[in-house]
A = this chain, B = another copy of it.
């Protein structure tokens, strides 16, 4: 399958390049995910054998343009909250080593029209705090723990 790197040196292409550096794992904790370029990138990594896990928000994953269905269809593991509050994180962790976080939702609107920031951090102390949060959420949103009869 072909490489999904967008052309040019843009903030988006730099983000995609960071993601494409993944060799073993990609942990995604994303409030909203509608950007097709980023969905293609995640699918590409999944097909290449990288272990992708994705946590998202139950309300926003059903919005128009959401890529969550497509990623699930591609066989990527997705979990979501069961609360009225938002799962509002927007971070990615590459190979349990590089943290990508900030204000940016992975939406076309955010990338094309908003004023946003994305921080790339390799400091182990920071990365660990976000990894721990990811693992906590991943367990908490395990469908085996859902309450259908509250």
Contacts and interface: CB of A to CB of B under 8 A. Distances in A.
A115 B86 contact: yes
A124 interface: no
B117 A130 contact: yes
Q: How many copies of the polypeptide does the oligomer hold? A: 2
A88 B101 contact: no
Interface residues of A, number: 30
A41 interface: no
A103 to B, nearest CB: 5
B88 A114 contact: yes
Contact of A87 (B109, B114, B119, B133): B114
Contacts of A9: none
Interface string A102-131: 111000011011111101010100100010
Nearest to A137: B115
B101 A86 contact: no
Contacts of A109: 85
Interface in A59-108: 81, 83-91, 101-104
A31 interface: yes
Contacts of A84: 113
Give the most central of A87, A102, A115, A116: most B CB within 10 Å. A115
Contacts of A102: 101
